[in-house]
Structure 1
Amino acid sequence: MDKLAIDFLSEIVGTGTLVLLGTGVVANVALIKNKGFNGGFLMVTIGWGLAVFAGVTVAYNSGAHLNPAVTLGLVASGAKTFGLGVAVSLGSVLTYIAGQFIGAILGAVVCWLAYKKHFDEEPEPANKLGVFSTGPAIRSYAWNLVTEIIGTFVLVFVVLAFGGGRQGATGGLAALGALPVALLVIVIGTSLGGPTGYAINPARDLGPRIAHAFLPIKGKGSSDWSYAWVPVVGPIIGGLLAGWLSLLLLPITTA
């Protein structure tokens, strides 16, 4: 199979694993009659961090970007190759991002299947949407955008500083980088996640939001499309800024 096709599948599987486990911990906390009901924000942040660990580990073939902001940040940093040797080009960038969005949608669908009866029992549409996508604690689009830019900048800049983590040249390096990246996501959640729920990943938010829109979820309500651009545009800006700053402060990565 063509190497780029393998990377495409790797990004689907890795992002799907990330979103399945990440949305799963939110479902466990937010939907009534679950054993983890009312587990709290710390449980969610730890769950998302470990979801990243799992997603990065299984997607070593592609370098485990799992996030368009990471892919674009790597491009901005001067990376010449992705994963195990795929040249950076418009085609490879679009292939990676397509795999990330497909994986995110599939992961959200599987989460819904796992929690189907609890979605049926949950009376609040906002809690159902909150499993799939983020929303602001205080709705202020400009400031919500700033929060997402800052959180994603920290994610991508520190990932680039790891050098050989998620963008590592071999599967072993990608797996070795999984734990530091997971801890990074946890600290971003606990430190910067309160205002917006820290999407820090366009695929993680928009993919499940699309799934929420088409799935036959009982009493689901709106998918909040008026806010949906914030967790897409903010992370892209943050990722690009991190990549550009890395040209000045960090060694240029080659993968």
Structure 2
Amino acid sequence: MSSSDIFFGELLGTAVLILLGGGVVAAVVLKKSKAFGAGWVAITLGWGLAVLSGAYVSAQLSGAHLNPAVTLGIAIDTGEWGDVGTYLAGQMLGAMLGAVLVWLAYYGHFQAHLADREIVGGSDTPGPPAVDDPRRAEERPVADGRGPGPVLGVFSTAPEIRNAVQNLTTEILGTAVLVLLILGIGLNEGLALSGTGTLMVALVVVGIGLSLGGPTGYAINPARDLGPRIVHALLPLPNKGGSDWSYAWVPVVGPLIGGALAGGIHNALF
């Protein structure tokens, strides 16, 4: 694979991942959406299918890492570091592009949602929007420019209970499971060649969401969280509130630690 293949493959695949993943969250949490209130199971299934779609789109070009934690784990496992920077650049730009596309797809819904009287005049109770019950998100404030705003959950993750150690641990565990599975599939050429391995990765993302997604919203991907969070900060959304930068390090550092641990474990055992 050439550097240009890797870059554009990761950019395209990650953009599709975020478009469909962020799109399902927007569909569930934004008022006037036909899927409003569909709940956590819809979100986890949507993210699993987003991973499947992004991976199939980019597999032939870049191998479909779509995740800096995956790239790091593979590099630690194989010792091949030459293209890591190219992978990361494509993933970050792709994640940002995908977030912009979500905004365009739901432009009118963002405007209507953030103009709602319940959003503009909400209570002063701090905390992240709860995507499993979108009505709770409307009880949260527009925010003071620092904490999570009322639509930040469409773009990035936020914990239900803010405990840095627990939140970091949750992200480490979820990402380690994901990367260990991906590395394990790589040992089976039949699964990789048939495309069944990609389907298995998508299903395990659904499983991680259902089992470990409750505490933090399971970023398990630094680009998936940081890129759209930057876009949230830049977009001209009315009453959007803050981008919660005080928490932003957790869904970056946690997945990177998890990916590194998985790469080291896999290298030591196999």
User: Is the structural similarity TM-score above 0.5?
Assistant: yes
Which of 120-129 and 219-228 deviates more?
A: 120-129
Which of 123-132 and 40-49 deviates more?
A: 123-132
Long gaps (5+) in structure 2: 114-118, 120-137, 143-148
Secondary structure at the residue paired with 1:222?
coil
Long gaps (5+) in structure 1: 81-87, 251-255
Change (3 A) 1:228 1:243: same
* 1:122-141 matched pairs, under 5 angstroms: 122=113, 123=119, 124=138, 125=142, 126-141=149-164
* Kept in 1: contact 2:150–2:241 (CA 8 A): no
2:54 aligned partner: 55
1:188 matches 2:204: no
**Taking every aligned residue pair, what percent have the same amino acid on both sides?**
57
Secondary structure at the residue paired with 2:160?
coil
2:123 aligned partner: none
Change (3 A) 1:30 1:161: same
* 1:191-230 matched pairs, under 5 angstroms: 191-230=211-250
Secondary structure at the residue paired with 1:177?
helix
1:154 aligned partner: 177
* Kept in 1: contact 2:167–2:216 (CA 8 A): yes
Q: Match for 2:84: what amino acid?
A: V
Alpha-carbon distance between aligned partners in 2 of 1:152 and 1:109, rounded to the nearest angstrom: 25
Alpha-carbon distance between aligned partners in 1 of 2:195 and 2:104, rounded to the nearest angstrom: 29
Alpha-carbon distance between aligned partners in 2 of 1:101 and 1:27, rounded to the nearest angstrom: 20
Deviation at 1:174, TM superposition (A): 7.8
Q: TM-score, normalised by structure 2?
A: 0.84
Alpha-carbon distance between aligned partners in 2 of 1:12 and 1:120, rounded to the nearest angstrom: 28
Q: Match for 2:71: what amino acid?
A: T
Secondary structure at the residue paired with 1:238?
helix
Q: Match for 2:47: what amino acid?
A: W
Deviation at 1:248, TM superposition (A): 2.3
2:198 aligned partner: 178
* Kept in 2: contact 1:205–1:231 (CA 8 A): yes
Q: Match for 1:36: what amino acid?
A: A
Runs of 4+ in 1 over 4 A off after TM superposition: none
1:232 aligned partner: 252
Change (3 A) 1:103 1:72: same
* Kept in 1: contact 2:17–2:98 (CA 8 A): yes
Which of 173-182 and 200-209 deviates more?
A: 173-182
Q: Match for 1:194: what amino acid?
A: G
* 1:1-255 matched pairs, under 5 angstroms: 3-60=2-59, 61-80=61-80, 88-89=81-82, 92-122=83-113, 123=119, 124=138, 125=142, 126-163=149-186, 173=193, 175-250=195-270
Alpha-carbon distance between aligned partners in 1 of 2:256 and 2:169, rounded to the nearest angstrom: 12
Deviation at 1:163, TM superposition (A): 1.2
Q: Match for 1:109: what amino acid?
A: V
